[in-house]
Amino acid sequence: AQTVTQSQPEMSVQEAETVTLSCTYDTSENNYYLFWYKQPPSRQMILVIRQEAYKQQNATENRFSVNFQKAAKSFSLKISDSQLGDTAMYFCAFMKHEGTYKYIFGTGTRLKVLA
Amino acid sequence: EAQVTQNPRYLITVTGKKLTVTCSQNMNHEYMSWYRQDPGLGLRQIYYSMNVEVTDKGDVPEGYKVSRKEKRNFPLILESPSPNQTSLYFCASSLSRGLNSPLHFGNGTRLTVT
């Protein structure tokens, strides 16, 4: 069975600085999808970034980028130029490429951006 | 506006009293799913549906039922709620599986069972 581990329950970063949130996973699959979702205090879940394991190139969305290391089964999220609005809970998620619709989420990292 | 609508937003009930949390999406999505969010445990999938009349268990299905009689609706039913089902619940939908069909979440239902 697949598992997703986020080893940092809480982090903080100064506004305008860069922070990296870690995510590791365990799977025997060769192709799969990885996602980062953000949950601000409003509790709405918002997609931040996504990556297909088959693609080597790291995904980037504006200030958000990932460092995808397939061999190490690592999918960390880097937030550059942190803003107060980035304060949220961040969840890493895994889904197999084929077959079921099962999503596996990590336990989350609570990020606080300090003014 | 494209959205997933969950109701109610907050619910307090007593042990054993059957309840239903409704979920409706207006995006003609094929796939729908339910999650519960608990501190320290993240989101865990309860049930999912890949089409009308097709449902399957996620990781924590015990104590829950779902139905998918029509594409837009996917209610979550707790036949006999217990205090360990106190949680924050999310419904989500997507057009299909995969990278280009991310989950669209509802606003969540905070359930307290006393």
List b or e across A76-87, with b for residues whose CB sees 16 or more CB atoms inside 10 angstroms.
bbbbeebeeebb
CB contact under 8 A, A97 and B98: yes
Tell me how far apart the alpha carbons of residues B79 and B70 are, in angstroms, rounded to a whole number.
21
- Please answer whether residues A104 and A37 qualify as being in contact, where contact means their C-beta atoms are separated by less than 8 angstroms: no
Smallest CA–CA distance, residue A92 to chain B, in Å, is 10
* Chain B interface test: which of A24, A103, A107, A109 (most B C-beta within 10 Å): A103
Tell me how far apart the alpha carbons of residues B99 and B58 are, in angstroms, rounded to a whole number.
20
- Three-state DSSP class for B1? coil
- Three-state DSSP class for B84? helix
pLDDT of A25: 97
Tokens of B72: 């837009």
The string of pLDDT tens digits covering residues A20-79 is: 999 999 999 888 999 999 999 999 999 999 999 988 889 999 999 999 999 999 999 999
The string of pLDDT tens digits covering residues B34-85 is: 999 999 999 999 999 999 999 999 999 999 999 999 999 999 999 999 999 9
